[in-house]
Each structure stands twice: as C-alpha cells, then as structure tokens.
Amino acid sequence: MSATTSTATGAAIVGVAESDLGVTNLSILTLQTQAITRALADAGLTLADVDGIATTGVSRFSATQVADHLGLEPRWTDSTFAGGSAYEMMVARATQAIESGQASTVVISFASNQRSAASRRLGGVTEDHTPEAQLETPYDPLFPLSYYAMAAQQYLHRFGGTHEQLAEIAVAAREWALLNPAAYRYRAGSLTAADVTSSRLVSSPLTVADCCLVTDGGGAVVLTSLERARDLAKPAVRVLGYGERTTNTSMTAVRDLTSTGAVGSGADAFARAGVTPSDVDVLEVYDSFTITAALSIEALGFCGRGEVLDFIAGGRIRPGGSLPLDTAGGGLSYCHPGQYGVLLLVEAVRQVRGEAGARQVPDAEIAVAHGTGGILSTHATVVLGADR
C-alpha cells in the first residue's frame, strides 16, 4: 500500500539492529551495547548523538544503568516496565519527546541472556506478591503458560475452533524462519500442524511447539525527527500512529479471556495513522504462544470476532500470503529473549526499507508492530510507514 505523503514533521526510525542471538554466554549489558552500537551504526550515528534512552528489564538494567555503562548523560529517559509491549509504548513516548524538543535522538533497547543463564523467569519474576495471586498460586500454574492456555481453551470452546487450526501460527512462523539465517530454527526444517499438536503437551491445549523459544538476545531502534532523518543515509521509516491499553495484572478478574486490550490500542494507532488494517502490508505481532498471535490478529481488526482461525488458514500468513505475519520467524522460531517487542520493531523497519532479503515482502510500505506484555495485560500498537 502507498504510505502517506507528509511534510517534515513527526519522528522516524533511522536505525535498527539485533545483538548476538541464541546461546551467547554474554552479559546483558554486553548484549545491550551490541544492539545499541549496531543500530547507531545502521543509522550513521554515534553515541555522541544520543540524548535519549529508553530501556527496561526485570528489576535491573534500566535506562540509568545503560546510560552509565555507555558514558552518557541523556536529557530524556524512559524505563516503562510493561513486559513485551514496553518497546511499542516507548516508540510513542520517544516520538512525543522528539516532537516536544525534549530529545533529538532516542535509542530504545532491550537484551537478555536468559538461555545462557538457564532461566525462563528473567531474574525471578513471580506474581506471588500480587493480591490476586492468593487465588491462583494454590493451583500451581506455569507462569505465564497456564494462563495463555486457559485463553486458548476458552477461545476454542466458545468459537468451535481446533488446535490444528491454531497450529497454523507456529507452522507459518517456521516457514518465515527458514528464510532468515539469523533465526534460531533456520535449519530446523518445516513444521506441520500434526507436528505441533503431537509435540509434548505442556498446558492443555498448548504443546511445546505452541510456545516461544528461550534464547539470549536483544535489539535496538534509533529515532530522530523526520526532518533530520531525511538527511541520513538510510531511508526514514515514519512513525504514523500508536496506541496502548493496560487491562489487568493477572486473570482472576478478567471476564473474557478471548477479548484483549489490542482492540483499543489498535483502533487508536490506526486512527492516528489515518489507515485501516486493509492498508497494512506486513504485520509483526507478539507470539509468546500461538494463541497470543491469534488473539492479536483478531483484536487488531484484521478479521471479525471469532473468525481468526478460519482467517489464517490457506497460507494467508505464510510467505507469499496476503497478510505476511512475523516475517523474521517470530518468537516461535526466530528468537525470544524474554521480551520480544523491540525485535518486532526491528523487523517491521527492515521490511519497510526493503532490507529483509529472502523474506522480503514485495512493495511493503506500511507495517504494524504490536506488543503484548504480562498475562495479556498490556497491549501497544505502532503503525510505521515509508517516507513518501
């Protein structure tokens, strides 16, 4: 689709990069530094240009620590902790800071060494300290898997879908990963729905193949004003719109597990951008589990209520399909360092720039990155577009 023509106002992403991925045996700050310096190099900028930092971790590696490690004294920082959606939220905050003159060049970053550290809990995350946990902890749920499994059970029961249909999310992610040499599952071979449904059951109905990877890694994106972006080496990718919702901490008080805050965050983002889901060329959504991606596709308005499992059938979200989804391979087959949201932005920018190699979507001009955090708790949507 054609991106909107504009004057030189607003903000743009001018640099993106990953850190080393997989099993790195590197510290989190080393991975952060890799991602940040690589993204700045991609933009043709240096640390001396940075006056804004946005980053978060779990109980550590906030913007203050990253700034100190890099020897910077930023004018603006953001350490919003909202799980996997934080980085889409940070795009909104950074855009506002740039537009208001609080900062001129902002780096958004994240990294984790959870696989090297042999931890799925990212520093010991637990919800035992939350009031509602007293109603859940006695049942010994797997955090957060069991909660997402309950959402999947409710969706399949209410709308009559099957696990085989839901497995298409994982199958498509693998097909994209086979086109991405950086993907953890690059050489793993194709996946079938039967492979997904017959793999080890973890929390019904979700199996191991419905769950994201556990890897080290991180990423960074660099934003500046659109006017300045047009003087840099790489094509500017405009921030067209954004929106967010925060709905719940846990699931104790959630009335409907099949309807998420992505409905509101997506509507706000599309309204700000002046586009609709039908204008989107590439969709990058958080896929911590297959159900996470399925609920997001539906909530963002790409199909009607209760229709997503039929909507994704027939190769629609695979390479060559009409709605390319998670084109790097997603958290299911590319990498998942614990908070994947920043890497959604990295891939969305590469697609809009035409830099995605074998997985490039032809003529991609509008991309959406949508992050999900917690237990379907936080939702943030960013619409990006080519500068025309």
Given the residues 87, 184, 242, 334, the one annotated as active site: 334
Q: Angle at the Cα of 377 (from 372 to 382), degrees rounded to 5? A: 35
Residue 111: strand, helix, or coil: strand
Burial of residue 139 (number of CB atoms within 10 Å: 0-12, 13-18, 19+): exposed
Given the residues 87, 184, 242, 286, the one annotated as active site: 286
Beta pairing, strands 282-285 & 366-373: parallel
Instruction: Name the residue among 209, 295, 226, 310 with its Cα closest to residue 258.
Output: 295
Is residue 366 within 8 A of residue 284, CB to CB? The reply is no
Q: Is 147 a catalytic residue?
A: no
Q: Is 334 a catalytic residue?
A: yes
Q: Angle at the Cα of 115 (from 282 to 219), degrees rounded to 5? A: 40
Neighbours of 124 (CB within 10 A): 8
Is residue 106 within 8 A of residue 76, CB to CB? The reply is yes
Q: How far is CA 151 from the centre of its chain?
A: 20
- The position carrying tokens 């991975």 is 31
- Residue-by-residue DSSP string for 35-100: HHHHHHHHHT--GGG--EEEE--SSS--HHHHHHHHT---SEEE----GGGHHHHHHHHHHHHHHH
Is residue 386 within 8 A of residue 1, CB to CB? The reply is no
Is residue 147 within 8 A of residue 377, CB to CB? The reply is no
The residues, any chain, with a CB within 8 Å of residue 8's CB and separated by 6 or more, are: 225, 226, 227, 230
Q: How far is CA 358 from the centre of its chain?
A: 21
Residues annotated as part of the active site:
286, 334
